[in-house]
Structure 1
Amino acid sequence: MQNTGYLYLILPQLRKIYGDGTPELKQAMKTHVQFFNTSNFFNTIITGIDLALEEKQGSESLDAVAGLKAGLLGPFAAIGDSLFAALVPTIFGAIAANMAISGNPTGLFIWILANIFIMIFRWKQLKFAYKEGVNLVTTMQNQMNALTDAATLLGVFMVGALIATMINVHIGWKPMIGKVPLDIQNTIDMMMPKLLPAAIVGIIYWMLGKKNMTSTRAIFIVLIVSVALSALGVIAQ
């Protein structure tokens, strides 16, 4: 997973701490090739704390470092992926996409600035974690669960907003009742606006929970069904 990349990242510093080719360096390298997999956006916090510990205590800290990495990789994976792999791209991607649809190029620069901010954040958190060391774990422990819950809730909220704004599907079929056409879409909107996009997302979510169903297959199914229903005049944009 990320263990060899993590070792490659800190190896120059390990050589400064333990010396090149020493038994302590080999021991540290063996410690750092153990399983490690976390969010790419928060891994620098673990790196900073790790280096602070090893600089202070040397090889005596390796057991603590291994435990620290094992204990933090899970929570940081959840928080980092929720915030920076899902929430931030969803928000800024939606803003950029809406601007692009309307012909406004500003959305492109918003997307670029968002990614620049993330890169700066990763660099700053490395320096901050290195400075604070293991005390940072104690400080963040009580806030971690609350941050995860808040990020999850905000992510769900944004997904709901995107469903209502980005999925533009309407029922185009208007059956005749006598000589009067029945506007099914207008009737649905009177009961609950954007019910059809929500229903489509719900069906796709249900499909993805089925065995052997993948996101790629779901996309092809949606494309085929959409083209067929559009050709028949059942749905319209």
Structure 2
Amino acid sequence: DNTEELKTAARTHCAPFFNTSNFLNTIITGIDLAIEEEEGIQSLETVASLKTGLMGPLASIGDSIFGSLLPTIFGALAANMAAQGNPLGIFIWIAVNVVVDWFRCKQTYIAYDQGMKLVTTMSDQLNAITDAATVMGVFMVGALVSTNVGIVISAPIDLGGVTVDLQHICNMICPKLVPAALVGFVYWLLGKKGMTSTKAIFIVLILAIILGGLGWIAKG
């Protein structure tokens, strides 16, 4: 009769705080199952430490790749294709999500088969994967800013009878400088205490309405 051991194992799993990416959480589940099955009740301390140690790295990787990177890349691709009247974008989006869901189901079995060996294998690759996802995410954000944020300075400035085109000057300094400045402004706002993405959106909307009404900015 292993009822008491089962109760002890259940209490052990309920005790520690466990919060990680829902895209990679089953990797930890599979490893835990393999260890508990092999070592029994003696594995509970190892399993608890494993969950605590892996939830942070896997959360950053899962959220970066599956929560931000893939939706940004393929969502923008599908939206741009749809805006141009091409229906293939939705099928690309569906295919990506099918692959992601298949991976989420498959990784449990992979982690269970590999057990502790997977931990040692991953430990040498987690930093590299995280860094690669970060670089690619920054690259894609920059590309999306230049292609999807359309705003130009439309207000001419008269200096001693000479009309100065600020937008042309900005383009000479750096193409898409104004959209980049807008994104930088939003990024600065989000760093302020008490600021949320919803508040930042309303601030940008209000500024766009005021400046657009004054004729200082226009859609690019």
Fold conserved (TM > 0.5)? yes
Matched, 1:137 2:141: no
Shift of 1:84: 0.7
* Secondary structure in 2 matching 1:41: coil
> Pairwise mapping of residues 41-52 of structure 1 onto structure 2 (< 5 A)?
41-52=23-34
Match of 2:104 among 84, 108, 122: 122
Aligned to 1:90: 72
SS of alignment partner, residue 124 of structure 2: helix
CA distance in 1, matches of 2:11, 2:172: 65
Deviates more, 1:171-180 or 1:70-79: 171-180
Render the CA deviation track for 1:66-112: whole Å, top value 9, x for unaligned.
11111101111111111111111111111112112212222222112
Shift of 1:176: 4.3
Give the distance between the partners of 1:177 and 1:68, measured in 2 at CA.
Answer: 67
Distance 1:179 1:23 in 2: 90
CA RMSD of superposed structures (Å): 1.6
Give a deviation string over 1:121-157, Cα, whole Å, max 9, x none: 1111111111111110011111111111111111111
- Greater CA drift, 176-185 or 103-112: 176-185
Aligned-partner SS, 2:125 = helix
TM-score by length of 1: 0.87
Residue 29, structure 1, aligned to residue 10, structure 2: yes
Name the TM-score, length of structure 2 as normaliser.
0.94
Partner of 2:217: 235
Deviation at 1:179, TM superposition (A): 6.6
In structure 2, what residue type is equivalent to 1:201? V
The corresponding residue for 1:214 is 196
Q: Which one-letter code corresponds to 1:26 in the other structure?
A: K
Whole-Å Cα distance in 2 between the matches of residues 202 and 122 of structure 1? 35
Give the Cα–Cα distance (whole angstroms) in 2 for the partners of residues 235 and 103 of structure 1: 28
CA distance in 2, matches of 1:197, 1:170: 8
Instruction: Output the CA distance in 2 between the equivalents of 1:43 and 1:205.
Output: 30
What's the secondary structure of 1:40's corresponding residue? coil
| Paired residues, number | 218
Q: Larger deviation: 141-150 or 175-184?
A: 175-184
Match of 2:45 among 43, 58, 63: 63
Segments of structure 2 that go 5 or more residues without pairing to the other structure are: none
Cα deviation code 1:154-213 (max 9, x no counterpart): 111111111111101011122345776432212211111000011111111111111222
1:160 aligned to 2:142? Answer: yes
d(CA) in 1 for partners of 2:66, 2:112: 22
Partner in structure 1 of residue 167 of structure 2: 185
Distance, in Å, in 1 between the alignment partners of 2:47 and 2:28 is 9
